[in-house]
Structure 1
Amino acid sequence: MKEKLIRVGTTYLPVQDIEKAAKWYERVLDAKLNYIDEDKAIVNLANQSFFLVKAPKNETANFIDINGKERFSLTFEVNGIEELVALHNELSVKGVTIGDIENRGHAGRNFVFSDADGNKFDVWSELSPSFKE
């Protein structure tokens, strides 16, 4: 069967202050700001567009799993464990809220970090096969 959906093009993230959030993504994650107005900013990051959308206080993209644990809804990939460790160190130096590097029982290692609005993201040390080419 031919794959119908090719890739994720856009992710929407709730934020409190559009300008502050856009600057955070530029400064911390080297995102490129493409557009900004009073309700949203569009930044390019990790081969897709992220819409930073003004939302009510305490709104995040996170969710609670069946065990009551708050989870991320998005995993970024880096190319290998060395890149994972380097990014972990860089985010730590920049004062980002960050978790420990974890062994979750599958290939590679992961860690979780949060943006300035509390949106959680996962980072995995393994690239998807189509990006290894």
Structure 2
Amino acid sequence: MKQKEVLSTVVGINCIYIPVTDVKKSADWYVNHLHLTLLQDVNEDSKHAQLNIASEQAIFLIKTRDQTNLNFEEIDGNVQCFLTLEVADIYKLHHQLVNDGVDVLDIEDNGDCGLNFKISDPDGNLIDIWGGRV
């Protein structure tokens, strides 16, 4: 049987859009706590902000009328985050976030999947922080 050649048309994730109620406050939070780079200055009237994650990857913070977030509940009742960010030093970042008073959960050891913890941004968007595979 001849195998059909399949060409992938998806080559990566370019950007993520996150709903926020206060673009400036949220942009400051992502810059100060996750050390992302703000690509253009924002102010209290800004409707969006663009943050650089890595080469050709970005997060857009989009102003919404009402507070909402991207979290969802799994069938077994666990609240799931919408995004996992890989970090270079999970212990150092966790310690810094705790000291800064960020809403942060304890580091979990998930065996072969590695270490992670969860944080919430100012609008309650739950983000998974992953330290890579151990």
**Shorter-chain TM band:** 0.7 to 0.9
Retained in 2: the 8 A contact 1:46–1:76?
Answer: no
1:94-109 pair list within 5 angstroms: 94-109=100-115
| Residue aligning to 2:131 | 125
Identity value in percent: 36
Displacement after TM superposition at 1:119 (Å): 0.7
Q: Which amino acid aligns with 1:99?
A: L
Counterpart check, 1:41 vs 2:49: yes
Unaligned runs of 5+ in 2: 1-5
Counterpart check, 1:50 vs 2:59: yes
Counterpart check, 1:8 vs 2:13: yes
Query: Secondary structure at the residue paired with 1:106?
Result: helix
Q: Which amino acid aligns with 1:45?
A: I
CA 1:58/1:29 → structure 2, altered by over 3 Å: closer, same or farther? same
| Residue aligning to 2:98 | 92
Give the whole-Å Cα distance in 1 for the aligned partners of 2:30 and 2:80.
20
Displacement after TM superposition at 1:107 (Å): 2.9
Displacement after TM superposition at 1:90 (Å): 1.1
Which structure would you say has the larger Rg? Answer: 2
Unaligned runs of 5+ in 1: 128-133
TM-score relative to the length of structure 2: 0.82
Displacement after TM superposition at 1:101 (Å): 0.8
Give the whole-Å Cα distance in 2 for the aligned partners of 1:64 and 1:93.
29
TM-score relative to the length of structure 1: 0.82
Q: Which amino acid aligns with 1:40?
A: H
Q: How many residues align?
A: 124
Give the whole-Å Cα distance in 1 for the aligned partners of 2:113 and 2:29.
31
Give the whole-Å Cα distance in 1 for the aligned partners of 2:10 and 2:84.
18
Counterpart check, 1:65 vs 2:74: yes
Which of 67-76 and 5-14 deviates more? 67-76
Which of 32-41 and 70-79 deviates more? 32-41
Displacement after TM superposition at 1:46 (Å): 4.2
Displacement after TM superposition at 1:2 (Å): 4.3
Displacement after TM superposition at 1:114 (Å): 1.0
